[in-house]
Structures are given as C-alpha cells and as structure tokens.
Chain A
Amino acid sequence: MVNAYKGNDMVVTANVDKIYPNNCHALKKVTTNIKRGEVVVIIGPSGSGKSTFLRTLNQLETITDGDIIVDGVNMYDERTNINKLRENVGMVFQSFNLFPHLTVKENVMLAPLKVSKLPKSEVDAEAQTLLKRVGLAEKMDVYPAQLSGGQQQRVAIARALAMKPDMMLFDEPTSALDPEMVGEVLDVMKSLAAEGMTMIVVTHEMGFANEVADRVLFMEDGVLLVDDIPENIFGTVANHPRLQKFLSNIL
C-alpha cells in the first residue's frame, strides 16, 4: 500500500480525464475532493459523465489522465493493489447485480468468505445482522429472483456493507425501481448517512439530495460545473444557468 497522504480526505481527484476508445470524451479535468463522512450527490443529465466518474473511483473504469487518491492511496501507483482498495469501497449498481445462483445470505457472505477469508460462523452472524438491518431477515434463504426490485437493492447494499467499507458508491440505486419501492432503498441509504458513512451517490432523486447531501456536484458534458451545498443548488436564486435549466426540466 502506498500511503501518499492519509488525512481528512477520503477521495481526491485531480484533472481526471477519460477518453473512450471511440474518442468520446467522457470526463474533462474533473477535480474535487471528498471528506470522510461526507455525503456527496452527483446530478446531471444522462451522458454527462457522472456514472463514469463514480466508476473511476473504484477503477471499474480506468482513466486516461489525471490522479485519483482514495483513502490516501494513489490508485494508479504501480504498487497499488486495486483489489485491496476495492475491498474498502463498496458499490451499489442501478441493476442490483446480485448473484442469481446464490441465496440472499450467500450473496452477502461470498466476499467475506472468499476475499477476507473470515471463519464461516462469524461471516454468517454478520450477514444475518446486516440483512436484519436492511429489513430482510425473513428473506435470507430465498434466491434474488424471488425478491422485488427494492428488496434486491437492499440486499445489494448489505452485500457491499459486508466488506466493512469506509466508503460507499451508489450508481443510480433507485432508477430501476418501481416508484413505490424507491422509499425503502432511500431509507436504508439515509440511515447509512446518519451513521457517518462516506457516500457518493449518483441519482435523480432531488429530494434525497436536498435532504441528505452535504454537497451536490452538477456535471454536464464530462465537466464538473457546480460544486455547492444543497441549499444553494436547490435555492430560489439562479446561481448557474445550465443547472437552472436541468433542474427546471426534471422538477
């Protein structure tokens, strides 16, 4: 592990550029920093690069240029073990991506068993605690296909939490859900935020952003245009014409 700088910052990105092989310029000099315990919501129109940016933070996407430092570790240092880094960064996907061949509890237990190699009894107890916490204690032994979307997403959150990460990334966690199930997932996320988890959330749920976020980032065309507290973002004052247009379109 390369401890370049381990301080109050959970994530530091500097001039992050991402150009896809088809010459699509997805991220343009994105520079920001996220503190420990901070809840940051990224908003923006589709194709603005917000999901791409989120995915660069655990290297599901590599970057073309720039620097990313997560928990004091420079991600692109050749001595960095990316798997070790990912253990510390949980991720929740828009399409849940639960493992369909495993039961709910096995989904939660897989990584602690196979990656951390913890004893099974300990992992089992921890999985039960986590599933209780997301309100799915009675669904432990069913397969993901038998769950509703909202339930699946809560299992996915429990699965990510099982590795005891210091930071959670949420990639449009409620976009694939029926409207009546959005609330149950957001409630779990709110309780996580209240416990002090560092969270970066890409979402279209402006209510959640307004209520829970410490900061809101607005991206468009791969550029980080606005970085402000939610009061200023959602306030009545027109602080940025592009942001104003985006918000008036979706609200």
Chain B
Amino acid sequence: MKEQPHRLKWHILFAITILGIAAGIYSASQTINYNWQWHRVLPYIVDTSPVDIIAQGDGSASINNNSLTITYDNGAPDRIINNADTILVSDGDIIFEGDLLARQENVRMGVLIEGLLTTLEISVISLFFSLFIGLVAALMRISNNPFSKNLSLLYVEVIRGTPLLVQIFIVYFFLGTVFDLERFTAGIVALSVFTGAYVAEILRSGIQSISPGQMEAARSLGMTYPKAMMYVILPQAFKRTLPPMASQLINLIKDSSLVSVISITDLTKAGREVVSGSFATFEVWFTVAALYLLLTSTLSWAIQRIEKRLANNG
C-alpha cells in the first residue's frame, strides 16, 4: 500500500484534466454566444406529445360516459373511441372528414432512440454476417488450394483498397438495382462484406499464430482437418484475436453511420433530421455521440468479459 498516495495524485490530475476540458468546451461556446438548450433534445429521445385522432369520413358524434362514438354517413361501421384523454367535439356535432376528434396522451420512443435501434439492428446483423464471411475467407486464405487462396486474397485486397462509402453506393445503386435489394439489405450487405475482409485478416493471423504442433497433434489423433480446425485451432485462435476483433467490431458500429447516405434512418440520419427540426445543433450531435458511445462501450465491455473468462486457461 506504499504506492497509494502517489497513485492518488495522478487520479486527481486526471479528474482535473477532464474538468478542464469540459470547462474549455463550455467557455468556447460562450465566446460564440451559443445558448445551450438541452431540454430541446429531450422530445427526440422520449416523445410525450399527444396523438391526434382524426375523422376518416363524414358523420356525427355522440358522447356517452367519456366514450365517443362516430356514426358515419356512408354506412361504414361506427367508430368507438374509449381511450381518448381529451375529446375535442361535443355530443351531436356533425363531423367532416379530416376533423380533429380527440387527443390521446402517449409516451413513445423519440426519433433518436428509433435511430439508435436501427443502428443497433444493422450492426448486430452485419456483425454476424461479417464474422461468418471473415471466417470463410480466412480458412480459404490458409488453404493450399490456389483457387480459394487467390479468391480470398482478391476479396480482401479489393475491399480493403476501396472506401466504404463508395462500396455502399455501389451496392445500393448497382447491386441494389440488379437484384432489387431494399436499402436496409443493401446497407447490411455493404457493411458485412467490408468488415468481413478485416475480420478475415484478423482471423488468418490468429490461426497462423497457433503453433503447427497443435495441428500435428490433432491430426495424429485421427482428426480430420475440419475437426482439428473446429476443436483445436479455432478456439485458440478466437481467444487470441479477441482484442483486435473488438476494435474491428466497434469500427463496424461506427461505420454503420455511413449507411445514412442511402437514406436509412439510423442514428446519424436521425440526428441530422432532428438538427434541422430543433436547431439545437451542438446538443443533438453531442447526444448522438453519447448514444454511439453507449453502443460501442457495451460491446467493448462484453468482449472484455469474454476475454477475462477465457484468460484462466492456456
């Protein structure tokens, strides 16, 4: 415990530095007279605005015990509204199509949270596909067959050598048109193929870092090559590649912001929409950044836990 006072000093310095950065950001915004309005962001996270109930045809209203019944002139079945919080018509009113009949209190996800969920969905689906593509490409790369070796090499070089943004455009406008892909599917294809190339390189280096003696021992026991891979080589390679894999998968979440260019309403696109609606530019982008950080730090934490669990052996 001799080191304690010394370490405490550095913790205090760290806290002071962070406070200093925060103060710097605040005073910088003061110099441009920026008026912080954090409350404006809130409705885009939790939306509490009431829902309007609109008449769908001409008719008449009758109110009975807080229950609004609309009888339509064209013989359509009556509409009974029981759950309205505010009724905006009176008993016996004549109703025309498009009239505002009542309001209903409602708490629902804001645009930013919807965007966050879209980002999460795209990232999780792409994560599984990119791991699968990466594993296949890595196994092809280390095989002795020149066909699969070269195919995998070409894939990795082409994908690593071109920008993701360009790939998204190519997948959306070319493949999307040829195969009639939805924009969501196109986004997932582009992200999975892009990340798969990096995962392939990570896994290949992991597999090749395992001593050849492991494969020899497995084969000498009568295991086939696939069995030796599955039960002996890959479990060890996965463990070794966890740290670079974590970085790559965090990159995947961040890269998913690029799919906003093909009009997928992910977190980034939602942020852009909210900025144009609320004019709280700084607050919205800081919020968007914090929400991304929430996703990436959760993934980072999960992978660290796996790493710790595997650390006790080998």
Which residues on A are within 8 Å of B, measured CB to CB? Answer: 58, 60, 83-84, 86-87, 89-91, 93, 95, 97-103, 110-111, 114-115, 143-145, 156, 159-160, 163
Q: Do A86 and B222 touch across chains, with their CB atoms under 8 A apart?
A: yes
Min CB–CB distance B306 → chain A (angstroms): 13
Per-residue CB contact flags for chain B residues 232-270 toward chain A (1 = under 8 Å, else 0) read 100110010000000000000000000000000000000
Q: Specify which chain B residues have a CB less than 8 angstroms from the CB of A100 in the assembled complex.
A: 236, 313-314
Q: Specify which chain B residues have a CB less than 8 angstroms from the CB of A163 in the assembled complex.
A: 221-222
Min CB–CB distance A60 → chain B (angstroms): 5
Q: Specify which chain A residues have a CB less than 8 angstroms from the CB of B236 in the assembled complex.
A: 99-101
Q: Specify which chain A residues have a CB less than 8 angstroms from the CB of B313 in the assembled complex.
A: 100-103, 143, 145
Q: Specify which chain B residues have a CB less than 8 angstroms from the CB of A145 in the assembled complex.
A: 313-314
Q: Specify which chain A residues have a CB less than 8 angstroms from the CB of B223 in the assembled complex.
A: 83, 111, 114-115
Q: Do B231 and A114 touch across chains, with their CB atoms under 8 A apart?
A: yes
Residue picked from B213, B221, B232, most chain A C-beta under 10 Å: B221
**Closest A-chain residue to B221, C-beta based?**
A111
Q: How far is the CA of A95 from the CA of B215 in the complex (A)?
A: 13
Q: Do B227 and A99 touch across chains, with their CB atoms under 8 A apart?
A: no
B11 interface residue per 8 A CB criterion:
no
Q: Do B219 and A160 touch across chains, with their CB atoms under 8 A apart?
A: no
Which residues on B are within 8 Å of A, measured CB to CB? Answer: 211, 213-214, 216-224, 227, 231-232, 235-236, 239, 310, 312-314
Q: How far is the CA of A86 from the CA of B221 in the complex (A)?
A: 6
Min CB–CB distance A59 → chain B (angstroms): 9
> CB < 8 Å: which of A89, A95, A98, A114 contacts B220?
A89
Q: Do B217 and A110 touch across chains, with their CB atoms under 8 A apart?
A: no
**Closest B-chain residue to A144, C-beta based?**
B314
Q: Specify which chain B residues have a CB less than 8 angstroms from the CB of A103 in the assembled complex.
A: 313
Q: Specify which chain B residues have a CB less than 8 angstroms from the CB of A99 in the assembled complex.
A: 214, 217-218, 232, 236
Min CB–CB distance A95 → chain B (angstroms): 5
Min CB–CB distance B87 → chain A (angstroms): 67
7 A-B pairs within 8 Å (CB atoms) are namely A83-B223, A86-B220, A97-B217, A101-B314, A110-B231, A111-B222, A143-B314
Q: Specify which chain A residues have a CB less than 8 angstroms from the CB of B217 in the assembled complex.
A: 91, 93, 97-99, 156
Q: Do B231 and A90 touch across chains, with their CB atoms under 8 A apart?
A: no
Min CB–CB distance A104 → chain B (angstroms): 11
Q: Specify which chain B residues have a CB less than 8 angstroms from the CB of A160 in the assembled complex.
A: 220-221
**Closest A-chain residue to B217, C-beta based?**
A97
Q: Specify which chain B residues have a CB less than 8 angstroms from the CB of A83 in the assembled complex.
A: 219, 222-224
Q: Do A97 and B221 touch across chains, with their CB atoms under 8 A apart?
A: no
Q: Do A93 and B221 touch across chains, with their CB atoms under 8 A apart?
A: no
Min CB–CB distance A204 → chain B (angstroms): 20
Q: Do A97 and B219 touch across chains, with their CB atoms under 8 A apart?
A: no
Q: Specify which chain A residues have a CB less than 8 angstroms from the CB of B214 in the assembled complex.
A: 97, 99
Q: How far is the CA of A122 from the CA of B148 in the complex (A)?
A: 40
Q: How far is the CA of A96 from the CA of B214 in the complex (A)?
A: 9
